[in-house]
Structure formats: structure tokens, C-alpha cells
């Protein structure tokens, strides 16, 4: 055996030892909750836990031993000692300080805490807050995806994000051809409302929320899809959960709201526009035969609003409050919000910003109206100069005598103080339901507002 043969023999023996060791170590890392990808800050941090340790070495050796080219650190196309040297460089000063105080997978050095995102090495986020913008998606999840490889397309760690997967039916429903797929016009209407929200973001960033509706339009939004068949009715929970089980990537649980766009729910004569889980993650939009851009977009916002914690009166279930100017209010779900102070809808989609004064139904002040412009609350054709008592949280132009409930018109019999609610600043930001089914504490809200009503 000459020198070269001896060296080759020695090399093979060392490699064999490494492979043997690696196969033993491989079992040690099999159960580790590893990120799906290598750290973007340090290639040698193969476990992506922002520390360089035994587990990274074990994983490297595992790749090396099994011929996995993820160990090809020098990019030569084969595995050799140069890859080992290159891997070890990370441990000897070749990687930045990976200290990650808030454990959000973005190292402290990159979290520049100035609100300016330049790149992943200068993110503008807070090194002491793992969710800088407060939307319950961590900074690392927004930048790099979740630990099991779910990417959140176009997420902004400095501005609040909400994700909704939209699955829809199309075909013949009770003799009518309908396509209940949300389209770009619907999305743009919802997008505009959320982009102009008064919800605040850190570092003095512009107010507002990035709403992401995934209706299968591409550009990372690949989860929305058409559902099979054209059922006249979809039952909740049973059928809804069956469709969700097949069509919703389980990795999206806890990150995306899930919505089904169908004809009707629960009954073949149900004219309701949808329902939603209060404080949950599921909702339905059922346009029956009144599908339009405005009706659908407004109903998405209405049902999503229930998921975000709003009732039909904002903080309470009191519907038809003339001073609650929100798509959550049945009076504004389809016609849109009031912009000229006459309490009737004028088109735009919005949640309430909470700017209206309370109205005391025991002493209604018509000259004061709701925004300082007079309102003829009792529909008698004049602005009454003196206060009077009247039950006014009723549908259409109905009113009621205090203490008496006219059938089907007013939502309560009593005269009390009606309060506005600042929806945008009271969104219930929370990690979405991680259980497989609806949790017991999540209440269902049946929205029996008929989309054809505005044409009556
Ligand atoms: Zn509702």
C-alpha cells in the first residue's frame, strides 16, 4: 500500500466511523420539533433553533451519512471533508450571534426595533416581543412560515394580518345557476375596508389591517377551491366539518379562518345570509339568489366580524341601533354604512369607528341626530324640537312605544340608552381555535338577515 492508497484507506475509515456515529445520533434528533427549513441566518443551525449545538451536528451527520445533499455545504455536488469543514465554520465564528431573546426565530441582531423592514437581517421588529404587531402571528411565522412549513403569503410583521380561506360551491341550486366564488371585486371591497381601518399598528405605522382572502387566486393563495357538487343546503356542524376536513390544510389551523360559500344552510327555506362562530374561526356565506359583489363582500365582513368578537350591536346583541354605524348592524349589512347622518346606508363597507353619541330612547333628541345633523327618528315629517320617548332600534322605519313589542319589527320592547361601539379598536386578537371541532365555549350566531331585503 503506497502513501496515496494509505491516505484513501484512512479517509474511508474515518468516513465510515462518521456514518456509524451519525446513524446512532439520527435517532436522537428524530423526535425534535425542528423547523421545516434551515435557519436563514446560519446554515450550520440545521435545527433552526437559533443555537449551535449537538443537535445541529447530529443532523448534519445524519444528512452526511444518508447521502442527503443538504450536507453539501460547499455546493460541489458530492459529500466530502470540505462540507464538514464548511459546516464547522458556523461554529467557529462563521455565523452571527443567534441570541433570540423573545424566541420568535428572528435573532436579536436582526430585530432592529425601529419599525422599518429592510430585509430579514434588519426587520424593524421588537427583539423583546415575539408578536411585534399584535396579531397573534409571531414575527418568525410572518417572515419564514410556521414550524411545520406553512407559509403565510405577504405577511407583514409590522402590520396586523388576518387570513381567510374561502371554499365555494358553483352549479345549479334549486333551479338557478350560481357561482358563489368570491372574485377580485369582492376581495377589493373587503380589502379597502380593512386597509382603511382605524386599528392601530406599532411604531406609528399607518392604521389598518392586511386582510388576505384565499379564494385560490394564486400568488401564494392556493388553498381556496371549489367544493364538489351543488347542494341546495349545507348542514352545520356535520357537513361543514366534513368539507373542512377534506379541503383545509391542517397546518392552517390556528392561522386561517375557514369560510364556505354556499346556497343555504341547515334548511331549504332558510333565507339567511350566513352564520358564524363568535370568537371562533369558521363561518358561512349563503347568498341564496341575491349574490352580488356588495352583498357578498359585506357578508364576508359581517360573518368574519363575529369571528373577531362582534355582536349585532358591537359589544352587545342589540340590533338596529341607529347610532351603531357598522356592517355588523342588520340595518347596514347590505346597504352599507351611513355617511350623511340620516341613519340609512349609503354604500361603503365599514365596521364602526365608535364616533357616535349615545341615544337615550327615553329622551330622543331629533335636532342632535347621530352626528350633529337632525334626524326624524319618529318619521312624522318634521324635526321635533322637544325630546320624546320612543323605541327606535327596529328594522326599516318601524318604531315602538316604550314597553310594547310590535311583532317582528323591534328587537326589544324597552327604551334604554343605545351605545355606539368602536369595532376596529376592539377586535379580539387571539390565536384561532386549534381544536379539530368547534369548542364548547364558542357560540354560534345565526344571522337571519335576508339579502333580498334591500330590494323590498
Ligand atoms: Zn350576524
Determine the pLDDT at residue 3: 61
| pLDDT for 428 | 93
- pLDDT above 80 (res 98): yes
Confidence of residue 439 (pLDDT cuts 50, 70, 90): confident
Please tell me the distance between residue 340's alpha carbon and the centre of ligand 1 in angstroms.
24
Instruction: Give the pairing of strands 170-173 and 176-179.
Output: antiparallel
Mean pLDDT of 156-167: 98
Distance 310 CA to ligand 1 centre (A): 9
pLDDT at 51 over 50: yes
Q: Find the 303 Cα to ligand 1 centroid distance in Å.
A: 6
Q: How far is the CA of 265 from the centre of ligand 1 (A)?
A: 14
Task: Report CA(59)–ligand 1 centroid distance (Å).
Answer: 51
Q: Tell whether the model's pLDDT for residue 31 goes beyond 50.
A: no
Ligand 1 centroid–CA 191 distance in Å is: 20
Share of the chain above pLDDT 90, in %: 72
Q: Write down the pLDDT at residue 400.
A: 87
Q: Give the position of cell 465554520.
A: 89
Tens of pLDDT, residue by residue over 54-83, are 999 999 999 999 999 999 998 999 999 999
Q: What is the mean pLDDT of residues 128-138?
A: 97
Helix (H, G, I), strand (E, B) or coil at 54: helix
Distance 90 CA to ligand 1 centre (A): 55
The CA distance from 242 to 436, in Å, is 11
Q: What is the pLDDT of residue 449?
A: 83
Residue 373: how many CB atoms within 10 A of its CB? Answer: 12
Across the range 171-196, mean pLDDT stands at: 96
Ligand 1 centroid – CA 109 distance (Å): 46
At residue 141, does pLDDT exceed 50?
yes
Alpha carbon distance 84, 249 (integer Å): 37
Residue 456 has what pLDDT?
32
| Mean pLDDT computed over 271-276 | 92
Residues present in the chain in total: 456
In angstroms, what is the span from residue 302 Cα to ligand 1's centroid?
Answer: 6
Are the C-beta atoms of 321 and 364 separated by less than 8 Å? no
- Omega before 58 within 30 of 0, i.e. cis: no
Residue 349: pLDDT over 50: yes
**Residue 333: Cβ within 10 Å count:** 28
The segment with the largest mean pLDDT, out of 43-47, 309-313, 449-453, is 309-313
**Looking at per-residue confidence, does 284 or 414 come out higher?**
284
For residue 301, the CA-to-ligand 1 centroid distance in Å is 10
Higher pLDDT, 24 or 106: 106
Q: Are 179 and 165 in contact (CB under 8 A)?
A: no
Q: Measured between alpha carbons, how far is 449 from 456 in angstroms, rounded to an integer?
A: 13
> Looking at the predicted structure, is the pLDDT value of residue 366 above 90?
yes
Ligand 1 centroid–CA 299 distance in Å is: 8
Check residue 27 and give its pLDDT: 52
SS (H, E, C) 221-275: ECCCCECCCCCCEECCCHHHHHHHHHHCCHHHCCCEEEEEEECEECCCCCCCCEE
Please give the C-alpha separations between residue 375 and each of 38, 237, 328, 333, in angstroms, as whole numbers: 63, 43, 22, 21
Q: What is each CA distance from 322 to 340, 397, 416, in whole angstroms?
A: 13, 11, 13
> Domains in the chain, ordered, with CATH?
3-92 (no CATH), 161-309+429-455 (3.40.390), 318-426 (no CATH)
Q: CA 119 → CA 97, 143, 433, distances in Å?
A: 17, 10, 31
**Residues having C-beta closer than 5 Å to ion ligand 1:** 447
pLDDT(213) > 60: yes
Amino acid at each position: 500500500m503506497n502513501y496515496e492508497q494509505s491516505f484513501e484507506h484512512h479517509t474511508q475509515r474515518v468516513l465510515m466511523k462518521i456514518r456509524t456515529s451519525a446513524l446512532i445520533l439520527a435517532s436522537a434528533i428524530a423526535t425534535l420539533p425542528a423547523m421545516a427549513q434551515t435557519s436563514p441566518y446560519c446554515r450550520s443551525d440545521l435545527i433552526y433553533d437559533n443555537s449551535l449545538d449537538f443537535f445541529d451536528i447530529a443532523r448534519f451527520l445524519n444528512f452526511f451519512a444518508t447521502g442527503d445533499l443538504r450536507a453539501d455545504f460547499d455546493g460541489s455536488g458530492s459529500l466530502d471533508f470540505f462540507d464538514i469543514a464548511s459546516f464547522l465554520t458556523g461554529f467557529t465564528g462563521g455565523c452571527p450571534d443567534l441570541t433570540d431573546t423573545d424566541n420568535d426565530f428572528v435573532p436579536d441582531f436582526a430585530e432592529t426595533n425601529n419599525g422599518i423592514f429592510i430585509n430579514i437581517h434588519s426587520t424593524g421588529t421588537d427583539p423583546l416581543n415575539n408578536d411585534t404587531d399584535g396579531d397573534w402571528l409571531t414575527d418568525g411565522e410572518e417572515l419564514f412560515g410556521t414550524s411545520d412549513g406553512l407559509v403565510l403569503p405577504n405577511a407583514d410583521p409590522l402590520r396586523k394580518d388576518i387570513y381567510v380561506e374561502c371554499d365555494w360551491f358553483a352549479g345549479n341550486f334549486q333551479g338557478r345557476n350560481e357561482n358563489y366564488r368570491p372574485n377580485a371585486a369582492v376581495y377589493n371591497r373587503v380589502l379597502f375596508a380593512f386597509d382603511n381601518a382605524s386599528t392601530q399598528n406599532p411604531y406609528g405605522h399607518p392604521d389598518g389591517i392586511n386582510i388576505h382572502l384565499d379564494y385560490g387566486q394564486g400568488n401564494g393563495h392556493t388553498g381556496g377551491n371549489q367544493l364538489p357538487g351543488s347542494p341546495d343546503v349545507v348542514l352545520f356542524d356535520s357537513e361543514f366539518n366534513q368539507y373542512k376536513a377534506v379541503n383545509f390544510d391542517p397546518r392552517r389551523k390556528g392561522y386561517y379562518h375557514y369560510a364556505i360559500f354556499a346556497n343555504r344552510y341547515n334548511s331549504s327555506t332558510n333565507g339567511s345570509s350566513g352564520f358564524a362562530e363568535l370568537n371562533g374561526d369558521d363561518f358561512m356565506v349563503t347568498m341564496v339568489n341575491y349574490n352580488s359583489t356588495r352583498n357578498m363582500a359585506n357578508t364576508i365582513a359581517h360573518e368574519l366580524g363575529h369571528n373577531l368578537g362582534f355582536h349585532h350591536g358591537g359589544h352587545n346583541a342589540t340590533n338596529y341601533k341607529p347610532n351603531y354605524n357598522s356592517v355588523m348592524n342588520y340595518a347596514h349589512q347590505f346597504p352599507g354604512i351611513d355617511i350623511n347622518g340620516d341613519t340609512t346606508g349609503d354604500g361603503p363597507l365599514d365596521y364602526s369607528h365608535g364616533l357616535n353619541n349615545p341615544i337615550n330612547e327615553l329622551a330622543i333628541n331629533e335636532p342632535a341626530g347621530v352626528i350633529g345633523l337632525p334626524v326624524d327618528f319618529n318619521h312624522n315629517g318634521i324635526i321635533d324640537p322637544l325630546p320624546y320617548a320612543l323605541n327606535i332600534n327596529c328594522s326599516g322605519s318601524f318604531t315602538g312605544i316604550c314597553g310594547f313589542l310590535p311583532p317582528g319589527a323591534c328587537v326589544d320592547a324597552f327604551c334604554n340608552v343605545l351605545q355606539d361601539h368602536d369595532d376596529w379598536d376592539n377586535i379580539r386578537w387571539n390565536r384561532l381555535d386549534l381544536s379539530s371541532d368547534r369548542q364548547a365555549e364558542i357560540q354560534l350566531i345565526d344571522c337571519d338577515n335576508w339579502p333580498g331585503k334591500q330590494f323590498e
